[in-house]
Each structure stands twice: as C-alpha cells, then as structure tokens.
Structure 1
Amino acid sequence: MRDRDFITNFEIFSTIIVTVIGVGIFSLPRELVSTAGTDGWFVTIMAGVGTYFLLYMAYKTIKSNGYNKLSIILENNFGKILGGILAVIFVVYNVFAISIGMRIFVEVIKMYLLEKTPTEFLIVVTIFSGIYLVRSKLENLIKFNEVSFWIMFISLGMILIFTLNKADFSNILPAFSNTPYTYLVSLKSAVYSFAGIEIIYLIGPFIKNKSYINRTALKSILFITIFYVIVVVFSLAIFSKKQTEILLWPTITMIDSININGAFIERWEGIVMAMWVMFYFTTFSNIYYLSSDIIKDVFRLGDINLSSALIAPFIYVIALYPQNIAEIYDIGNKFIPPLFIYSLIVLPIFILLFGKVRNTGSRGKAIFLLLICIVLTGCWDKVEIDRVHLVSIIGVDAGADIGKKKEVMDIKPTDPLTSVDLKKFHVTFGIPDLSKLEPGKGGILQDKYINVDGYSIQDAVSGAIAKSSRSMRFSHTKILVLGENLMKYPESVKEVIDYLQREPSLNRNMYIVMSDGDAEKYIKFNTPAEMSVENYILGMVESDLKNSTVIPVTLNDFLVQMSENGNSIVPRIVMDKDDKNIKVSGTFAIKSFAQKGVLNSEQTSDIELLKGILRGGKKVIYLDEHPVDIRIDNVDRKIKMVQRNGKLVFNVDLYIEGQIKNYYTDNEALSVNKLNQIQHDFNESIGKECRNVVKYTQKDLQVDPVGFGEYVEKYHPDVWKQVKNNWDGTYKNAVININVNTNIRRIGATK
C-alpha cells in the first residue's frame, strides 16, 4: 500500500506550474495588450500578486480542515447534500474550462497541422488520452507533471532565445501610461490566466512536507508570473502593440516566425504544435483528474475509472457545441468568469467563514504519456508530395475590375458573390516543377506558374487549386511581389494585408518587394543566373542586406509596420529597358496603404543610417580631387526631443565607426591632421545627405520612415497624446537637426 503522503516539494512546484500554464499562454499577450497596451507586463505582475492570495486562501482552507480532500471538506462542513452540490458546481467550472480549452486546442491543431482530420476525432483522441492518464493513478500523473515541466520550459526558453534577433524591446514603451480603471479592467483577464491553481485541492492531502506548502506555492506563482511577463514582453518586442492586438495567438506566430540561417530546423510548425499539445495536455489531464476524483467521492462510485468515463461525454458535448472560434471565446467569456469567481474566491471564503472547521491530526507510464503528446502532432492527414503545390513565390497585381467601385457598391450583402465574375486581384503563383527531379536522375528545379483572377486573395487561391487539382502550401514561400498598380488602391491593399495577417500557413519570414510595373512580369522573368526567379530575387535582397543598399522587409516586418499606421518602406525591384535583367533599386515609400514615392539606393542607405540599423556598406567623399571610400562598421544613433515655439525639435546624433578602404598612392592617411580632415569632411558630407533625405521624406513625401513618431509615442507619451491626432502636420513642421560624429579606426594595410 502506498504512503499517503508521497508528493515532494518540487512535484508540488511543477504540478501547479504545468496546470496553470496551459494553452492560454499562446493568446495571453493579445488579451492583455488589447486592454492595457504596452503595460500588459505590469498587469501580469499585479495579477500574480492577487493570484498568490487566492492560492494561499485555498491552502488555508485545506490546512484548517486537516488536509482532507475538497469533497470531504465540503461534506464535513455543509453536510452531504449541500456539500455535494457545492462540489458539483466546482466540477462544472473545471469541466467547462477544459472543454472550452480543448476546442481551442483542436482548432489550432487543425489550422496549423491536421487540416483534414475531423474535429470530433481529435476531441475523442484527446479525451481517451486523458482517461488513460486518470486511470494510471495519481502517482503517475505527478511524475508526468515533473517530466513535462523540464521538457516544456527548457524547450520554450531556448525558443525565446532564438527570437532575440528580431526583438525591439523599446516596443514596451511607454510604461505606466494607463488610468487605474484600465489596469483594473485588464486585471480581470490577467487573473483568469492563472486558472488552474485549484489543483492544490487535489495534491494538498498527499504532500510529504506540509509545512513547506505555502513557500512552494509562492515560488510556483512567482515562476508563472515571470514566465507570463517574459512572453508578453517578447510579443510586444517582436510584433509591437498594434500587431499583438490583432493576432489570435501571438506566441504561436512568434515561434513560427523564427528564422535561423543554416539551422537544422527549417520550419517550426512541428515544434510549435508539439509545444501546443504539451501545454494543453498537462492542464487537461490534471484538471480532469481533479474533477473525476471529486465526482467519485461525491457519488460514492468507489473507482475513478468510472467517474472519468461519466465526465467524458460532457467534455465532448461542450467542446463540440460552439460553431466557430468566435463563439468559443464568446461562450468562454460569458460562463468561465462567474464560475472562476465561485470556485477560487467564493467557495474557499464560504468554507473558512461559515463552515464547521474540524482540525484533525512509476515513471514508465509518464514517459508513455509523453509519447502520446508527441504522437498527437503526427501527420495523420498526410498528402503525397506530387499532390501538393509548394508555392515558392507569389505576385499580386491589380485586377481588371479593381477600380469598378459602382459595380461593387451594387452588390448586396445577401447576394452570392461567387456568381459575380469580379476580377479585382490578379495573382501569380510560382511553383517548383518537381517533375524535373526524377528518382535516380539529376535535375534542375525550374518554376511553373499559375495565373488566377479573383474578387479576393482567397478566391484566387481557390481558383489556383481548381486549375491545378492540387492543394497549395505556402510554408516554403520565399518572396511576395506586390505590383506597383495595386498600391494605387488603398482599400484593396487593406484586403491583401488582412489576408496576409489572417492566413496562418504563410511563411512570415518571406521577403516582400514591390515591382516597378506588374508583378507577373517579374515572376515569369527568365534569368540566366538562376533557374528560378525567387532564388534570384532572394539572392539580391540578401546580398543587399550586407551591402546596405536597401532595407530588406520580411512579411512579419511589413505586417507590423502596416498595422501601426499603414506606413512602410518596401524594397523596389526594377527591370532594365531591354527586359534582360532585374535589380533591386531603392525602396517604395507607402503611406496610408498607398504608394507615396520612391527612395533611391543612396537615400535608402541614409534612412538605414538614421534609423541606426545600418549593417555595413560604404560612403564616399572627394578629397583633393580623389574619391575616399570609407566602410562603415558600426552605427549608434541617439535622439533627443524638445518642444520649442510650438514645434517639436529633434536632435539626432549619429556615431559612426569605419575604416578607409580606398585613397590614392601619392598621399598618406597615417596622419592625425589628415584623419581629422577626412573625418570632418565625412561628417559634413553624411550630414548633408541625411538632411536632404529627411527634408525629402518630411516635406515632399510626408512619410516618416525614420520613426520620429514612434520615438515620441514611446519616450514622450504625454506629448504624443497632444499631437497624435495631427501627427502629419506636426511632423511636417518639426525641426530635425542631424549631427554626425565619425571615428575612423583603421586605414588599411598601408599608410
């Protein structure tokens, strides 16, 4: 017979953590940022403090009742009937919570991995996996939690490290800019994310060292709070506030957007789904066991196997009831909060204040259950590769009917749009021709193309599938080309942006470029240098990444910028007059979802310099009638802002380190005076360049590619509140001073 008290301190710690941190962690950043903005991390800390007091109250409830089970505590204090009713209501909350969580879990699995697998089947498999764990007794559940803890948090910790290269932690600014009422409203969502602490009622009676329960509970809440804060901060740092607000599951998108050149993991969907399964299943199995154990005791069933089987149909029905993802969240928001308040606030207070207090003195299965979690991420709806088109490049142009506003206005919401032949978008899909790669033979991968017109991008995708009789996969797409004519229609561009944000299968690390003319012409371009045009364009963009002649923009970067205010700068590709060559030439400036103008390569490089993100490249000055090439190795930018005479005055200080790469043989650079002269001339030259490009973007284009508005919003929130509604006018009249300080560290191998 087992020792009644068998749970160690670390097992308490790990069980509370893996039960609380479920799949809600993947949507938590959106929920907090939507209400508290950039202060979501602070609200999380407040919620952590409040949750500890709730957990402490539950601990006191157990302690004051002789460390009995919850069902026994309720029966002893309120009698068999009333105590049983209170216990069943507690179970209803837990069953409802894990059922809603299960439906969200299944919907995400279907969206990212098992698109064709029936929802009912996934729910049944998950329930039966939970039943198996419940039948394997509490010891195995605790071991499962212990092993899962290390797998979950070591893995996720390493994944978060991989996102650091995309993070801009200034996005968490401004801080403490909300009203107390806003914090209180946000606190509600944050506290609900700590649901699961009721697991203490299951493990409390079986803890070895009961004097350390409170201390261990505090450590677990501290760990959860810190983890939540990290996830919220990273989401803001990578997506910014606006993008985080509109993503359903920011944490999933954040992990999926990881791109590590040369890494052994190319696509992260499998990793994401493995984490998703693990995070849900630990919450589900623990709460399922707690609910089954209470039902067993209340109805004197004698065997938890029977009680778990009785609960299973209720989980299935509740999980399957919502018709769509919106209804899932709507039902959850209506019913879970009051049940949460009852179970974690009202019930323990009721017991402590009004109850009759009576003070009375195998790893093998765990590993098997972990394997179940891994198996659940398998490719059950596999499709042979010859039945799939792996889209490598996409081009979106304006369709023939994109400007026909009258025809569109005549269409009623109740009219079937499928019967309307509206060619609003012209989409070109470039697909590697896998037939060229035959087994046992060499082959050169070439592209084939599908052109489709549609009233939306999704309609075009459906049309392409119908044309080819194959499904389309976008996880390997490398380049998205937006046609110049498309950018003349801002409302249509918004539709494209919405599709790009909404479609989870798109590779967020693909590069975006805009074409000078129709995108289709560039996608079908036959280049002598590469067999596929996407590799040719990709090579140019990544080469320019090192040479600083353009600012490469990924899909994730583009969506973040556009969600802020509809503004962005995108690399521009052009074709020479003879249509024999493609090159990247500067950038297109986009404002309010429309093309505003063009920045040439030099101006684009200056923008990178002013943003402080220049990764290299060179600048040239003329000295003694000879060019002096200076390679820039490092750039640091400092901005300060003051208000003067009703205008904003920005002082931009650029600190540049570099080395001389070219001079002329009849002169020497190894001289303090000569170097000082070169540095002075370089400062003046770069200063003029930067002032000219700022004047052009500020006065002529009226766009803010440097990010002065973003700076004001983050570091001067009070000023931003005054000017944000008229930022265009404020920015146009702002005074921008630029000061360049160059330090030439090296002069090469000669004097």
Structure 2
Amino acid sequence: MKQSNNYVRSLKGILSILLLLFLSGCWSSNEIEDIGLSVGLALDEGKGSAIEEEFKQQGAGNNQTEKITMTYQIVNPQGTGSENKGGGSQQKPYLNISETGDSLHQMSREFSLRSDRPIFGPHLKVIVISKNLVRKYRLEQLVDQPLRDNEIRPSCLVLISKGRANETLKSKDSGKIPALRLIGISDNEYRTTRILPPMSLAKLEGKMHSGSSFLLQNVIPTNGEIKFSGAAVIRGKTKKLLGFFNEEEMEGLTWITGKGKGGLVKSFDAATKQPIIYEIKTMKSKITPHVNGNNISFDVKIESEGSLSENWVISREGSENKFLKRAEKAAEEEVKRLINTTGEKMQKDYQVDVAGFGNRLRIEHPKVWEKVKKDWDLIFSEVSIEYNVKLTIMDYGSNFKN
C-alpha cells in the first residue's frame, strides 16, 4: 500500500513537470515601452506641422493630396511619476503625433517611418472628428478605416469638435491623459441632461446603415481645456453635418427621448421670481403615433419624479402643499419651454427627426412606415406633435419653516 502511494506521488510529480513544458506564457506579448499604445485619435482638415513639411520636402515620390491631418495620442510610459533630466519637471503621460495625407491607413503606416514604436490600436478609446471634415466628407468615409481595422475595438467612442479635433487631445494638466478625460466626461451622463448617451463605433455603424438622422456629442476645446457643449446633427441621407443643437436644445431632446439618467431643472417661482432647482431622479417618455388616412401625428407623454434640491424662496404664503404644486408647475413650464425649442429646431430649422419619432411609427405602423420612410425627414417637419409633461416632487427635505 505504501509503495502504491509513492508511485502515485511520483506520477503526479512527473505530470506536473511535463505540463510546465506546454505552458506558452506570453510568447506573443510586447513590452509596453516597445509599442505606441494609442488611446485617442483626432481627424482634422489637412494642416501639416513644420516637421512634417520638412520630411515631405526631403522625401521622394510623395504625390499625395493633403486633405486630412490625423493625430494619434500615445501613452508615454516614462511620463507617469518621472522627471526630465534637464529641468526636473515632470513629463507628460502622453505624446501627440500627427501626419497629413489622403488615406487614414497609409498615414498610420507613415508613423512607422518616424518612430521606433509602432501604433498599437486595441486600446483606442475615442475618435474626435472636426466639424469642417464632417461638412466636407460623408461620415461613413471618415470612419471606414477604423471600422475595418481589426485592432480597433467597436466600443471606441466617436465625438465631434467645433474647433480643431487635435486640440481636444491637449491638456493644461500635465498629469492627465486627454483621451481618458473625454471618456470620463461622457460617463457623467447620470449628472446632467446635456450629455448624450455614448456613441460607439458599433452604434454609429448601425445609425449610418439605418438611413435615419442622428446626433453626435459635440466637444469644444479652449486653451488646453474642453467642455461637452450640445450636439452635432448628422443628416441621414447625406451622412454629413447639418448643424448643431446648443446645450438647452440638447436638454430638450433628452426630455423628448426620455433617455436622461439624471440632471437638474432650474425654474423660477411665479410669485417671488426666486430660483428653484428640481433634481431628476427618474425620467420616462412615451411617443405614441396616430395615423388617420394620410395624416400622421404624435403624442409625447413625459413623466419624471425628483426632489426639490435647492430653494431660494424665503417667505411663502399658504400651505406646504400649495408651494410644492407651484414648484412642480414652474419646473414643468421650464421643461415644456426646452421641449418646444428643440421641437422647433428639429421640425422647422433643420427638418430632421433625431428623437426617434420615425422609429416608433415603424414599430406600431410598419405598413405606413414603408410608404413614408424614404422622405421621412421632410414629412416629419409637417406632422403635429402634442407634448404632455408631468413632474412630481417626491422628496423636498425638511426646510419648510415659515
């Protein structure tokens, strides 16, 4: 029996040694210091840097038409917690490198002629495209290469910039990686109604194939700082930039779609003209289409529950309940104003449906949708829409002493 146990233990030991021979480990891995780990990509109108121009003048056989400037943001492994040898100042944790040409794929390979660290795309987090490019080219042309690239993940976010897109990849804070800052801001959707649900490459491809008009989050760069401000309107038929919604119009759209995860409504008390802040806890919207012969109309029922998070009204007449009803009415009127402003912009100014009215018609009246989908944006501009808004203050704290 004892001899049998020794045999089993010996056999286990031999098998363990043999298994070690078959462990490959990270045989195909690359050291982070040896690759250009890209986290951000910016696309602008062609504008080569001084060093690029010098390279092109010295190079031979370069007949490309300069149209687009591509800027990659690459993680600098030496940047975090390190100091420059000369002045002792901390290095930035990122490097921005640009190339100008007429092919995104070719430009990405051009970086191999200038750097010993090849561009590595699987960790690309965000693509920012300047408004001038989206006015000039179809969006599907600009993102064709990233969509085909097996290295770039479909979860990569897409943003539009009113200024030069490469300015959004700069930061005054030497310790921040700007591309990651953009992702962090998009995660603040639960704090405000002025941020769109993130638009990934995968979602963008679906939007473009659907033929419907849609929105992309707009970001404004200013002296190393950025701000999410409104949204770019992309026309479904052309896939080009039509215009922009400002921040208030963006709020109105969030209420129409009911996709907000949080935020505030600032209104003013009718009696005292003092500000009252309603904080959104829940939000939902139901868009109901009605078809009567050739006439199409919609009812939009919007409901929200929230809290009275700030109140500047010092003296109040009447009961507590009367004041809360007054506060609810004031918030409802403000939401209606935002909605009507956005509706006017969609139907009259831009004549595009970016709120999903056509999708609800497609679901509930598919036969009607088949007849109108080809010219839906134009038809949408003439349909009647009725909005009903109901806000309820569920939590108002204890500060109701007269």
TM-score range, shorter chain: 0.7 to 0.9
Question: Aligned partners of 2:80 and 2:27: how far apart in 1?
Answer: 26
In the superposition, relative to structure 1, how do residues 497 and 668 fare at CA in structure 2: closer, same or farther (>3 Å)?
A: farther
Per the alignment, residue 658 of structure 1 pairs with 306
Q: Deviations over 1:678-704 (max 9, x none)?
A: 323332331232122011112211222
Question: Aligned partners of 2:365 and 2:123: how far apart in 1?
Answer: 41
In the TM superposition, what is the alpha-carbon distance from 1:606 to its structure 2 partner?
1.7
Per the alignment, residue 125 of structure 2 pairs with 478
Whether 2:28 is the aligned partner of 1:384: answer no
Question: Aligned partners of 1:534 and 1:381: how far apart in 2?
Answer: 27
Whether 2:233 is the aligned partner of 1:589: answer yes
For 2:182, the aligned partner's letter is: I
Per the alignment, residue 181 of structure 2 pairs with 536
Question: Aligned partners of 1:611 and 1:730: how far apart in 2?
Answer: 19
Whether 2:253 is the aligned partner of 1:610: answer no
In the TM superposition, what is the alpha-carbon distance from 1:544 to its structure 2 partner?
4.7
Whether 2:280 is the aligned partner of 1:632: answer yes
In the superposition, relative to structure 1, how do residues 520 and 720 fare at CA in structure 2: closer, same or farther (>3 Å)?
A: same
Per the alignment, residue 168 of structure 1 pairs with none
For 2:376, the aligned partner's letter is: W
* SS of structure 2 residue aligned to 1:435: coil
Contact between 1:388 and 1:472, CA under 8 Å: does it hold in 2? yes
In the TM superposition, what is the alpha-carbon distance from 1:545 to its structure 2 partner?
4.6
Residues 525-604 of structure 1 correspond to what in structure 2 (within 5 A)?
A: 525-528=170-173, 530-555=175-200, 556-565=202-211, 567-576=213-222, 579=223, 581-591=225-235, 592-604=238-250
In the TM superposition, what is the alpha-carbon distance from 1:389 to its structure 2 partner?
0.5
Question: Aligned partners of 1:679 and 1:707: how far apart in 2?
Answer: 27
Instruction: Kindly indicate which of the two structures has a greater share of residues assigned to helix.
Output: 1
Whether 2:134 is the aligned partner of 1:487: answer yes
- Structure 2 gap segments, 5+ residues each: 1-11, 49-60
Identity of aligned residues (%): 21
Q: Which of these residues, 147, 155, 162, is aligned with residue 509 of structure 1?
A: 155
Contact between 1:454 and 1:463, CA under 8 Å: does it hold in 2? no
Residues 305-454 of structure 1 correspond to what in structure 2 (within 5 A)?
A: 379-399=26-46, 420-436=63-79, 446-454=93-101
For 1:606, the aligned partner's letter is: G
Structure with more contact order per residue of length (Cα contacts < 8 Å, sep ≥ 6): 1
Contact between 1:396 and 1:427, CA under 8 Å: does it hold in 2? yes
In the superposition, relative to structure 1, how do residues 436 and 746 fare at CA in structure 2: closer, same or farther (>3 Å)?
A: closer
Contact between 1:391 and 1:431, CA under 8 Å: does it hold in 2? yes
Contact between 2:348 and 2:381, CA under 8 Å: does it hold in 1? yes
Question: Aligned partners of 2:64 and 2:351: how far apart in 1?
Answer: 38
* SS of structure 2 residue aligned to 1:642: strand
Q: Deviations over 1:166-209 (max 9, x none)?
A: xxxxxxxxxxxxxxxxxxxxxxxxxxxxxxxxxxxxxxxxxxxx
In the TM superposition, what is the alpha-carbon distance from 1:566 to its structure 2 partner?
6.2
Question: Aligned partners of 1:740 and 1:438: how far apart in 2?
Answer: 52
Per the alignment, residue 51 of structure 2 pairs with none
Question: Aligned partners of 1:433 and 1:670: how far apart in 2?
Answer: 62
In the TM superposition, what is the alpha-carbon distance from 1:488 to its structure 2 partner?
1.3
For 2:73, the aligned partner's letter is: G
Per the alignment, residue 700 of structure 1 pairs with 349
Per the alignment, residue 641 of structure 1 pairs with 289
* SS of structure 1 residue aligned to 2:78: helix
In the TM superposition, what is the alpha-carbon distance from 1:596 to its structure 2 partner?
1.1
Per the alignment, residue 379 of structure 2 pairs with 730
Contact between 1:669 and 1:747, CA under 8 Å: does it hold in 2? no
Question: Aligned partners of 2:249 and 2:78: how far apart in 1?
Answer: 44
Q: Deviations over 1:7-61 (max 9, x none)?
A: xxxxxxxxxxxxxxxxxxxxxxxxxxxxxxxxxxxxxxxxxxxxxxxxxxxxxxx
For 1:392, the aligned partner's letter is: V
Per the alignment, residue 7 of structure 2 pairs with none
* SS of structure 2 residue aligned to 1:488: helix
Contact between 1:397 and 1:426, CA under 8 Å: does it hold in 2? yes
Contact between 1:481 and 1:513, CA under 8 Å: does it hold in 2? yes
In the superposition, relative to structure 1, how do residues 522 and 684 fare at CA in structure 2: closer, same or farther (>3 Å)?
A: closer
Residues 10-409 of structure 1 correspond to what in structure 2 (within 5 A)?
A: 379-399=26-46
Contact between 1:552 and 1:570, CA under 8 Å: does it hold in 2? no
Contact between 2:167 and 2:221, CA under 8 Å: does it hold in 1? no
In the superposition, relative to structure 1, how do residues 379 and 658 fare at CA in structure 2: closer, same or farther (>3 Å)?
A: same
In the superposition, relative to structure 1, how do residues 646 and 566 fare at CA in structure 2: closer, same or farther (>3 Å)?
A: closer
For 2:294, the aligned partner's letter is: G
In the superposition, relative to structure 1, how do residues 545 and 567 fare at CA in structure 2: closer, same or farther (>3 Å)?
A: farther
Question: Aligned partners of 1:606 and 1:659: how far apart in 2?
Answer: 19
* SS of structure 1 residue aligned to 2:64: coil
- Structure 1 gap segments, 5+ residues each: 1-363, 402-417
Question: Aligned partners of 2:103 and 2:295: how far apart in 1?
Answer: 44
In the superposition, relative to structure 1, how do residues 656 and 437 fare at CA in structure 2: closer, same or farther (>3 Å)?
A: closer
In the superposition, relative to structure 1, how do residues 500 and 711 fare at CA in structure 2: closer, same or farther (>3 Å)?
A: farther
In the superposition, relative to structure 1, how do residues 575 and 498 fare at CA in structure 2: closer, same or farther (>3 Å)?
A: closer
For 1:431, the aligned partner's letter is: I
* SS of structure 2 residue aligned to 1:475: coil
For 2:94, the aligned partner's letter is: D
Per the alignment, residue 715 of structure 1 pairs with 364
In the superposition, relative to structure 1, how do residues 443 and 509 fare at CA in structure 2: closer, same or farther (>3 Å)?
A: farther
Contact between 1:545 and 1:551, CA under 8 Å: does it hold in 2? no
Per the alignment, residue 500 of structure 1 pairs with 146
Contact between 1:456 and 1:495, CA under 8 Å: does it hold in 2? no
* SS of structure 2 residue aligned to 1:558: helix
Question: Aligned partners of 2:323 and 2:80: how far apart in 1?
Answer: 60
For 1:386, the aligned partner's letter is: E
Contact between 1:434 and 1:445, CA under 8 Å: does it hold in 2? no
* SS of structure 1 residue aligned to 2:353: coil
- How many residues are treated as equivalent by the alignment? 362
Question: Over aligned residue pairs, what C-alpha RMSD do you find?
Answer: 3.1
In the superposition, relative to structure 1, how do residues 701 and 472 fare at CA in structure 2: closer, same or farther (>3 Å)?
A: same
In the superposition, relative to structure 1, how do residues 723 and 669 fare at CA in structure 2: closer, same or farther (>3 Å)?
A: farther
From the CA coordinates, give the structure whose radius of gyration is larger: 1
In the superposition, relative to structure 1, how do residues 669 and 661 fare at CA in structure 2: closer, same or farther (>3 Å)?
A: farther
Q: Deviations over 1:92-147 (max 9, x none)?
A: xxxxxxxxxxxxxxxxxxxxxxxxxxxxxxxxxxxxxxxxxxxxxxxxxxxxxxxx
Contact between 1:398 and 1:486, CA under 8 Å: does it hold in 2? yes
* SS of structure 2 residue aligned to 1:476: coil
TM-score of the superposed pair, with normalisation by structure 1: 0.45
Whether 2:168 is the aligned partner of 1:519: answer no
In the TM superposition, what is the alpha-carbon distance from 1:628 to its structure 2 partner?
1.1
Contact between 2:79 and 2:94, CA under 8 Å: does it hold in 1? no
